[in-house]
Amino acid sequence: MPHWEFRDSPRIGVTAQLGGVVELDGGRLWLPPQAALSGFEEHMPHLRRADGGAVIFPAQVSSQLFRGEDYRARLIFAYADEALFFRVGASDSWSPFSFDLNALTAIGLRDRRRFDDAAPQGLPAASFPAVALHRTTLSLPLARRVTHALLDGALSWTGSAHRLLDDPQAFARLGKRDGSMPPYERSGVELQAPRRAAVIGGYASGRYTRYLETAAWLE
């Protein structure tokens, strides 16, 4: 299995996205197989698999007021490989690299022939046995592969001096609800090297459970 390489960026934006994604009929997302995994490198620190076939990078910050008063920010990551791509939210602000498989969005495929016109969002049931508005479930083989990739990649993140700041408009809206917000330059999430990474959601005894946690850490 090829290892992952951390690559810092000369500057950092507020958001980043995978370039070349095509939206087909019905909201289906497709990235042609010959397309480069690019479009974010100059303004977002990222991980790239050594063979060039997969990437992981922070795409944006999602923030809220915990209990209506405490500012909380978490990362939304983008993942892409030879077969699929998606966004996955961190499960909690205490661990920026805690990927929540119950919070997958913007799921797309690389092979256009794999779309199933009869399936929700065109996602084939063999790989996505349950597709719903609030949660899309990966198949057992796919969940295992993605879990391994996310954990292996996260522990290869050696750290950046950049801080991914909150969206200015979202931050301002929260500020109207609570006057004890931090200064904007302290919003968002630091991108330091994690000592621990986790994936929330997976299979136990052959059945998907949203409560399973698979963790890995560096000693």
pLDDT computed for residue 215 by the predictor: 93
Model pLDDT for residues 18-56, shown as the tens digit of each residue = 999 999 998 999 999 999 999 999 999 999 999 999 999
Residue type at 8 in one-letter notation: D
For residues 100 and 88, the answer to whether their CB atoms sit within 8 Å is yes
Q: What DSSP string runs through 167-216? A: PHHHHHHHHHH-TTPPPGGG-SEE-PPPSEEEEEEEEETTEEEEEEEEEE
Rg (CA), the chain: 17
Strand 98-109 and strand 130-131: the pairing is unpaired
Read off the pLDDT band of 179 (50, 70, 90). Answer: low
Read off the pLDDT band of 176 (50, 70, 90). Answer: confident
Side-chain half-sphere of 125: how many Cα atoms within 13 Å?
3
- 3-state secondary structure at position 56: strand
**CA–CA dist 20, 82 (Å, integer):** 14
Q: Which two structure tokens, joined as six digits, stand for 184? A: 């904007």
- What are residue 210's phi and psi, to 5 degrees? -80, -10
**CA–CA dist 124, 82 (Å, integer):** 16
Sign of CA dihedral 58, 103, 174, 190: negative
Q: What is the mean pLDDT of residues 134-141?
A: 91
pLDDT greater at residue 198 or residue 180: 198
pLDDT computed for residue 193 by the predictor: 94
Domain, as residue range, for 40: 4-217
pLDDT computed for residue 180 by the predictor: 76
pLDDT computed for residue 207 by the predictor: 92
**CA–CA dist 137, 106 (Å, integer):** 13
Model pLDDT for residues 58-98, shown as the tens digit of each residue = 999 999 888 767 898 999 999 999 999 999 999 865 678 99
| pLDDT above 90: percentage of residues in the chain | 79
| Domains identified in the chain, total number | 1
pLDDT computed for residue 157 by the predictor: 97
Q: What is the mean pLDDT of residues 147-175?
A: 95
pLDDT at 177 over 90: no
pLDDT at 110 over 90: yes
Averaged pLDDT of the chain: 93
Q: Which two structure tokens, joined as six digits, stand for 140? A: 């057992």
